[in-house]
Every structure is written in structure tokens, then in C-alpha cells.
Amino acid sequence: MTFTLTREQHDEFRRDGILRLDGLLSAEGVRRAREAVLRPLERMGLWKAGRWHLDAVPEPRWPETGLKTSQVIGNRHPELAALVEEPTLSAAVDALLEGRPYERPGPNRRPQALFTLPNARTWTVPSHWHSDSPRLASGQSAGVQLFAFLDRVDAGGGGTLAIAGSHHLLNHGRSIRPSEFGKLLRTEPFFAELLGAGDNPQGRPDLPHRTGDVGNVRLRLVEMTGIPGDVWLMDLRVLHAAAPNASDRPRMMLTFRYERSDLLREVADAWGWNRDARPTHSRTREDRRRRRTN
């Protein structure tokens, strides 16, 4: 595979922890994945004759997303697994992980569709900021997360939000679970304001500042937008959040976590799982929330 990242793209990923790559996925691969996601929605009457029929289901209101994606769409779609293994994408992940081995999709590790019905009249800043990986004592990143578009997602259309630069925070030489992040970050004005959005479950119309600093780390709110074929690749330490969909069409994306094989044990220990990497307790509040909403 001849695909390589430029030096600027490497620098951007190191600085921001997130990188957008346009047109990385094949049109055919995305079409197949999109059709696999649309099939169950067609059975529900939501998608018919090439058009959305949103009146087939009750209109949700943010923070409700409307459908329990894991039940309605499911994640056992070979078309989704094929997409996250496309050679160009694999080459980009290899480059960002500097050739280190990572876990491939399989029965216990599947790509997930991200689907949000239109659920807001106006877009608001969400409050469920989280990371999917604990901070590791070694200071390393457990891997890279993919966000891909199965349909066009414009600004305000429910694309995932991320805080560029946040992977530089909380690397204190000890493991820290995501459930502790809020308490540790709230003392910083940028986060006090952002996490304060949680005081109102509807979120807030906007923030006065979409950028901020913690020490010498520059932070910036990034909204993932794009068209089929585009992807964002994100350091697993980056804080991110689901967002309201204030557009007139469902948000259809896909996510997958490329987890470094050499760090699985350290990650399991940081979560407090036992040695064979099974949870010894219900993981975290964030984990439970994800299982409820996906």
C-alpha cells in the first residue's frame, strides 16, 4: 500500500490528537456499509424508496437519540467490518501507530454505527464529555479511534465533537479512569465552562469560547463533519461527546477503536479488570451510559 501521511499530518495529529482525512474510504465500501445500516431502518419504515420517512417513529428530543442503535441496527454487519479494514485506512492507522500492532475487528470487537435522528430545533453544546480509554501510567495512548461518514454530516447535524489537544492533559504518570476526569479538570476555567453545560441536560446554545488553554496546552472544540469517504482519526485519549442533531436528516456515522495489542494488559489494569481482561465490576458510569444509548 503506497498511502503515506505527510509530515504536516503527523505534526497535526501529535499536536491536536485528531486528524481529518478526506476521501480515504472507497465509494463502493461506504455504499455497502450504508446499505447494511439502512436495511433494518427500511424494515421499520424509516427509510423507503430512497427517502427518509421520519414520521414513522416518534420525534426524539435531545439528549434522547431516538433509536437504540445496537438493537435496531446492530453491529454484526460484515460490510462495516470490511470498511474499517480497507487498505488505505489501515495504512493511515499503521502510520499513526508507528507500525505497532493493533486489534482487528472480530466477534468481540466490532465497528459500531452511530445514528441520531433529528432531535433538536437548535444545536447546543453537549455535556457528556468523556474518553473511551483510561490514562495509562506509561503515558502512552491505547490507540486510535475512527469516525467515518456513511452519509453527509453538516455542521449542527449531530457529528461527534472532540476537544483537540485534550490528549496532552492528565498524563500524570499514574492510571486514571475517565470517571475521574471531570473532577480533575473542573478547576480549569475552560473545563468549568464546558462541563457546566451539564447543569442543563439540554446543553447550552453555545460557549463564549471554543478555544482555551490549560497550562501550555491549547484546546479547541472540533465538530466532525464530512461526506461519505471522509474519516477522522482520533487519539483514544481525546475527550469527545455525542452532539444534538439540529438538521432535517438522520446522522449516520461509524466508529471503530484500533486498540494497541501491546497495551491491552496495561489498559485492563487501569480499568481495574482482572488478569484475563474481563471486567471485575461494572466498568464506569460512562461505560454504562454508552451501553444505554448505543
What residues have CB less than 8 Å from 10, skipping those under 6 apart? 95, 96
Shortest CB 49 distance to ligand AKG, Å: 28
Cβ closer to ligand AKG: 145 or 168? Answer: 145
Give me the least distance between CB of 116 and ligand AKG, in Å please: 7
**Which strands, in side-by-side order, build the sheet including 231-235?**
18-21, 231-235, 143-149, 251-259, 112-116
- ∠ Cα 40 21 222 (to 5°): 85
Nearest-approach distance from CB 56 to ligand AKG, in angstroms: 21
249: left (phi over 0), alpha (psi -120 to 50) or beta: beta
For residue 257, the minimal CB distance to ligand AKG (Å) is: 8
Supply the minimum distance, in Å, between the C-beta of residue 160 and ligand AKG: 3
Closer to ligand AKG by Cβ: residue 173 or 251: 251
8 Å CB contact between 78 and 213: no
Q: In the complex with ligand AKG, which residue's Cβ is closer, 167 or 240? A: 240
Contact of 89 with 231, CB cutoff 8 Å: yes
Instruction: Tell whether the torsion through CA atoms of 157, 210, 258 and 100 is positive or negative.
Output: positive
CB closer to ligand AKG, 10 vs 202: 202
The rounded distance, in Å, linking the Cα atoms of 290 and 294 is: 6
Say if strands 47-48 and 240-241 run parallel, antiparallel, or are unpaired. unpaired
Q: What is the DSSP string of 224-241?
A: --B-TT-EEEEETTS-EE
CB of 150 to ligand AKG, least distance (A): 13
Question: Least distance from C-beta 294 to ligand AKG, angstroms?
Answer: 8
Query: Which C-beta is closer to ligand AKG: that of 240 or that of 283?
Result: 240
Which CA distances in Å does 237 have to 91, 127, 190?
A: 21, 17, 18
Q: Tell me the closest approach of the beta carbon of residue 135 to ligand AKG, in angstroms.
A: 16
Burial class (CB in 10 A: 0-12, 13-18, 19+), 43: exposed
**Which of 132, 259 has the CB closer to ligand AKG?**
132
Residue 68 or 174 with smaller CB distance to ligand AKG:
68
Where does this chain bind ligand AKG (CB under 6 A)? 114, 132, 160, 240, 242, 255
Three-state SS letters, 54-109 = HHHCCCCCCCCCCCCHHHHCCCCCHHHHHHCCCHHHHHHHHHHCCCCCECCCECCE
